Structure formats: C-alpha cells, structure tokens
Amino acid sequence: MVLPVVKLGTLALKTLSKPVAAKIKQQAAIHPRFRQSIVGIAQANHRITTRMQRRIYGHATGGEIRPLNEEKAVQAAVDLIGEIFIFTVAGAAVIFEVQRSARSEARKEEIRKQELEALRQRDEGLARELELLRQKIEELEQLAKQRGLSGIFSFKHATADEAKLAKPA
C-alpha cells in the first residue's frame, strides 16, 4: 500500500513542478533586479552554446558572437531557470526513490540474515542433540553388552543382518 502512494506522490510532485516553474519564469521576467542579474548569465550561456554548436558543426569558432538583445536574454535565462527547477525536482525525486529502495533492500537483507542465523542455530542445536542421542545409544549398547543383552540392543548389526537376509531372496 505504501509503495503506490509514494510513487504517485513523486509523480504528482514532478507534474506540479512544471506550473511552479512557469510561475517562477513569469516572476523572474518581471522582477527588475533579478532581470538585470540574469541578463549576464543568459549572455554567457548564449556564448557557450553558440561556441559548442560551431564546434559540433565544424564552423569557425574564432568569430565574434553577437549578444542577445535584452528581451531574448531574459527569455533565455528564465527558460534556463525553469528547466533547472524542473530538473532539480525530478533529480530529487529520483534520489528519494533510490534511497527508499536501498533502505527497503537493506531491511530485506537484514531479515534474510536473521533467518539464516536462526536456521544456523537450529542446525547446530539439532547437531548437538544428534550427538547426545548417539552418545546415549553407545552408553545403552555398552550397558547391554555388560549385562548380556547385546542381541536386543544391537541396532547397527540388526539392520545389517536384515539387509544380508534380504539379498539372497
């Protein structure tokens, strides 16, 4: 029951992050001080992406890159901010899922170790009990030999005799 709720919660968080990112973009575009600061970031991003595109397509990289006008720079910066916000929310959701899964696996592994330890202890207990029973049988055989009842308590020999009798038939 918890698993579907958590997965639905992360899906809802990812879905809700898109309208929030749009609102952040809208507010960032109209806030005057923020607008001034993001123009420089947008221009630097424009220069970097233009140089990468030129290198990828084999064009000359030494030429001058025209700066974006202020509106395009602001739009590019707020788009970048929106994408970074969505990526951050999605990344946080993935990290949360991985950690939750790791904790779940650790709990399962701990339960397996406890079960294995219980089985090992049970096996050791049964081995001790078997050894005690063997010792008691040996003591009974020794007592039977001393009292002359070896034929009655000779379990090992009786099964071997029965096997010898069954073979000729």
Taking CA atoms, 119 is separated from 7, 116, 123, in Å, by 36, 5, 6
CA dist., res. 151 & res. 157, Å (int): 9
Is residue 169 scored above 50 in pLDDT? no
Reported as a single tens digit per residue, the pLDDT across 51-106 is 888 888 887 777 788 888 888 888 888 888 888 888 898 888 889 888 988 999 99
State how far the Cα of 112 lies from the Cα of 118, in Å rounded to an integer: 10
Q: Which two tokens stand for residue 153?
A: 């308590």
Q: Does the model's pTM come out above 0.75? A: no
pLDDT at 155: 54
pLDDT at residue number 115: 96
Give the model's pLDDT for residue 138: 93
pLDDT average, residue stretch 11-19: 80
* pLDDT value of position 105: 93
Mean of per-residue pLDDT scores for the chain:
82
pLDDT tens digit string along 34-59?
888 888 888 888 888 888 888 888 87
Paired tokens of 163: 């096997």
Amino acid found at 54: R
pLDDT the model gives residue 128: 96
pLDDT in tens, 16-33: 888 888 887 787 778 888
Question: Is pLDDT at 123 greater than 80 in this prediction?
Answer: yes
Q: What is the 3-state secondary structure (H, E, C) of the chain?
A: CHHHHHHHHHHHHHHHHHHHHHHHHHHHHHCHHHHHHHHHHHHHHHHHHHHHHHHHHCCCCCCCCCCCCHHHHHHHHHHHHHHHHHHHHHHHHHHHHHHHHHHHHHHHHHHHHHHHHHHHHHHHHHHHHHHHHHHHHHHHHHHHHHHCCHHHHCHHHHHHHHHHHHCCC
Q: Give the pLDDT confidence score for residue 63 in this predicted structure.
A: 77
Helices 2-30 and 32-57: angle between axes, nearest 10 degrees: 100
When pLDDT is cut at 50, 70 and 90, the band that residue 151 belongs to is low
